[in-house]
Chains A and B, each alone.
Chain A
Amino acid sequence: MNLEFSPEEIAFRDEVRTFIESNYPEHLRETGLREDLGRDDMLAWHKILGKKGWSTPAWPTEYGGTGWSPTQRYIWSEENARVNAIMPLPFGVSMVAPVIYSFGNEEQKAQHLPGIQSGEVWWCQGYSEPGAGSDLASLKTTAVRDGDHYVINGQKTWTTLAQYADWGFFLCRTDPDAAKPQEGISFILVDMNTPGIEVRPIKLIDGGYEVNETWLTDVRVPVENLVGEENKGWTYAKFLLAHERSGIAGVARSKRGVENLRDIAKSETLDGQPLMTDLDFARKVSQLEIDLAALEITELRTLAGEQAGRGPGPESSILKVKGTEIQQRLTELTLEAVGHYGTPYYSNIADAGSNEYPVGPDYAQHAASLYFNMRKTSIYGGSNEIQRNIITKMILGL
């Protein structure tokens, strides 16, 4: 066993660092934690990486993956986190693409993978419905075969950033009479510009608009957009969720967040001394870092397992639960660190179109909204209760 990087890995790290230094868009530096970015900002880095061939490191090389080892991928995310880079969104790159290259046909691969890799095409995930959240298999949206089309009707909700989406992957019920609810579901790719789709924004508690209600009324989708077999969608959905979870630990991002927290706590004062020298506060930051180190090594062990051919299994639930708890605690501590200046409602000021407001230090401005926003992480991607149920069943065997 060995934790040190080899000389080759260090050379790789330097190459990556230099590339990021000279190519990451100047105007987006240090903005990776802000929620008020538009489509172009969010895609800028993705497009640069697409040209370089680095936007989809984890894909198999035959489809455009880099062939990097887990350690190299880990270095890659670390280096991006150093500048708070806005990484390619998961919906295309790490969710639908693996389903397409694992279960899709050749036409689908040829049609969709290049756009995902280049960052030209924006994807959204149409799984959840008002009545089907944790119990996803109870979903009601129907797709009825009519000649060479499916006609889709129903309502999806929580569709993240669907306001920018070109395509969506939807779970629809194709066999209402199946013996088990899981057995009558299909995985369908939908062009978001098809008539009959309406996307309505939902305002969240941080003041931002990142999710939507998606209404589908007689949406006609060519049957070629079915992925894999009809009524086998649940299998692909579960496969995808395991991929979704492994990205969710967010170790590199949290490490950057802890550094940021330490910087804030050096600027803030308590009894005339830097807050960071206060033992009570310092202890909480250390606890966070210790937990983060444990998560990091656990993730590396999981990655190493993957390299040895064991796909992400129920262990990814550990990464999801611990990773999100750490992200939430980090934002909570950051809010605590900024003291009184967590109180002003900056998002509202941003709504009004002004991007500069002279209240408190810059670093305080997103502390509260980020804390409020990060409560989502223990709810989505399979809530942390559901993850614990998975561990109960799949690992403890209860």
Chain B
Amino acid sequence: MDFNFTEEQGMVRDSLARMVREQYDFDTRRTVVESDAGWRPEVWAQLAELGLFGMPFSEADGGFGGGPVDSLVVMEEFGKGLVVEPYVPTVVCAGGFLKHAGTDAQKADHLASIIDGSRVFAFAYAEPKGRYDLADLETTAKRDGDSYVLNGHKAVVIGAPWASHLIVTARTSGDRRDASGVSVFVVAKDADGVVARDYPTYDGRRASEVYFENVSIPADALIGEEGNGLPLVERVVAEAIAAQCAEACGAMKVAHEMTVEYSRQRKQFGVAIGSFQVLQHRMVDMFMEYEQSVSMTYLATLRLDDDDRQRQLASSSAKVRVGQAAHHIGQEAIQIHGGMGMTDELAIGHYFRRLTLFDSEFGNVDHHMKRHVALSAG
């Protein structure tokens, strides 16, 4: 057993932490997320320069031979600074699909440009009616000679306004919700027939509703096997969940620290409110929730290369535990900040919003609880 980070991971973390501190202070972040662009491509380029995007990929794929633990390190720091840059959609999701199932040509084309920061991806998997079921797809891709014709509507595609490319799940055969018949494609966002409606999200990111209207995509845009994409999607989503749990841990850590600090400073009835035992115990509970979340994030990360069942169990367990903790810590942080916690002015409310919306991405607590029940019964 070893819960230590390598020396390299430690160094990456330190330089990333410094960068987030220096370039991602709360006021700067707010100005950026409220700007028209909503993010900073120059920060993205800087992250690429740090070598961040190559870390989780093998040397053969042009990376530095790391893995999911590297993404954990990155995402925890991102969580602390509420970084909005689309590392998960691009590096973890698109990178994951290419790493596990990309052809040499696809890797040469896309993976290289992910690593050097020149391409940004979004992962279009959710649909308006599908809730959190990854196989519940109304989007279709029909084979037509040596191309596919894509039709459908993807909901709340995070990072899509910034993306040049999309990874899209679509049904190539079978009925809605069948496990088989799911396929994965890479689609250029400027392809004819792709329409995106962009909007901001409550947690400071950007997303789009993406519509595909008879979008013709070449057959070699298919990633992995036709019709057998679900296991691949599940694997990549497990990786995204682990990364996002790490992000939530970073955000929870800061939310907790801010709350403790506030309770030291804020005086009512002539004393610091942190001296009230009822608040002390609640901050202790927040702290314990955070520590349990870190543990579950390690579990979900370290089980990613295990067999499907172990991986899924760990990922659902983490999503349940961290999802509950994120709600709990967010709510308590606001409550203990009192009226100040309700203001947009203070950072704590922004942490609260991110921690709230964390739950609905890649399946909420109920969804993963059910999956855990099903996996444990099986």
Selecting from A9-17, A199-207, A220-228, A251-259, the interface stretch reads: A199-207
Which A residues, 126 to 159, have Cβ-Cβ distances below 8 Å to chain B?
128, 131, 133-135, 138, 157-158
Decide if A205 touches B156 in the complex (CB within 8 Å): no
Checking A204, A342, A375, A376 against B344 with a beta-carbon cut-off of 8 angstroms, the contacting residue is: A204
B12 within 8 A of A: no
Interface 0/1 of B187-210, CB less than 8 Å to A: 000000000010111110001010
A182 within 8 A of B: no
B278 within 8 A of A: yes
Decide if B156 touches A343 in the complex (CB within 8 Å): yes
Neighbouring B residues of A158 by C-beta, 8 Å:
339
Q: Given A128-B339, A204-B342, A379-B339, are A344 and B156 also a contact pair (CB < 8 Å)?
A: yes
Selecting from A55-63, A72-80, A266-274, the interface stretch reads: A266-274
B152 CB to closest chain A CB (Å) equals 15
A369 CB to closest chain B CB (Å) equals 8
Decide if B343 touches A203 in the complex (CB within 8 Å): yes
Checking B177, B203, B269, B331 against A134 with a beta-carbon cut-off of 8 angstroms, the contacting residue is: B269
Separation of A368 and B204 alpha carbons in the complex (Å): 14
Neighbouring A residues of B129 by C-beta, 8 Å:
269
B268 within 8 A of A: yes
Separation of A270 and B155 alpha carbons in the complex (Å): 16
Main secondary structure, interface of B, reads: mixed
Question: Nearest chain-B residue to A133 (Cβ)?
Answer: B338
Decide if B268 touches A133 in the complex (CB within 8 Å): yes
Which B residues, 343 to 372, have Cβ-Cβ distances below 8 Å to chain A?
343-345, 349-350, 352-353, 356-357, 359-361, 364, 366, 369-370
Selecting from B70-78, B131-139, B164-172, the interface stretch reads: B131-139
A358 within 8 A of B: yes
Separation of A202 and B361 alpha carbons in the complex (Å): 30
Interface core residue of B334, B335, B339 (most chain A CB under 10 Å): B339
A281 within 8 A of B: yes
Decide if A205 touches B343 in the complex (CB within 8 Å): yes
Which A residues, 320 to 356, have Cβ-Cβ distances below 8 Å to chain B?
328, 332, 335-336, 339-345, 348-349
A201 CB to closest chain B CB (Å) equals 11
Decide if A340 touches B360 in the complex (CB within 8 Å): yes
Residue numbers of B with Cβ under 8 A of A are 126, 128-129, 131-133, 136, 155-156, 158, 176-177, 197, 199-203, 207, 209, 267-270, 273, 276, 278-279, 327, 331, 334-335, 338-339, 341-345, 349-350, 352-353, 356-357, 359-361, 364, 366, 369-370
Contacts A138-B270, A343-B360 known; list 18 others, CB within 8 Å: A134-B273, A135-B270, A202-B345, A205-B344, A207-B344, A211-B342, A271-B133, A271-B136, A272-B176, A280-B369, A281-B366, A332-B327, A341-B156, A344-B200, A379-B341, A379-B342, A383-B335, A383-B338
